[in-house]
C-alpha cells in the first residue's frame, strides 16, 4: 500500500474515532462478563479489557445512569465481583 494511501486512511480513522461512543464499549464489557458468568470461555485478553472498562470511571457512570434498577443491580454485582478479584 502506498504511503499516501496509508496516511489518507489514518486521517479518516482519526476523524471517525471521536464519534464512537465509549459507553457502548462499557456495555459490551458488561455483556462479555455476563457471558463468562454463564460458563462461556473467553480469552485472557478479552477478560482483561472488559475488566478494565468496567472498573474505569466510565464503568461506574454507566452503572449510575442505568434506568432499570434490576439491571443496575446486576451491573453493580459484576463491578463488585471484579473489584474484589482485582484486589
pLDDT per position as a tens digit, 1-54 = 788 988 888 888 787 666 655 556 899 999 999 988 777 788 888 889 999 999
pLDDT value at residue 21: 56
Instruction: Dig out the grid coordinates for 53 from the structure.
Output: 472498562
Is residue 47 within 8 Å of 31, Cβ to Cβ? no
DSSP state of 66: -
pLDDT value at residue 71: 96
Is residue 62 within 8 Å of 35, Cβ to Cβ? no
Amino acid at each position: 500500500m502506498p504511503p499516501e494511501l496509508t496516511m489518507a486512511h489514518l486521517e479518516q480513522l482519526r476523524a471517525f474515532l471521536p464519534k464512537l461512543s465509549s459507553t457502548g464499549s462499557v456495555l459490551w464489557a458488561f455483556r462479555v462478563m455476563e457471558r463468562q458468568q454463564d460458563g462461556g470461555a473467553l480469552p485472557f485478553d478479552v477478560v482483561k479489557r472488559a475488566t478494565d472498562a468496567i472498573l474505569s470511571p466510565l464503568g461506574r457512570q454507566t452503572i449510575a445512569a442505568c434506568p432499570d434498577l434490576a439491571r443496575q443491580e446486576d451491573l453493580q454485582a459484576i463491578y463488585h465481583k471484579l473489584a474484589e478479584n482485582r484486589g
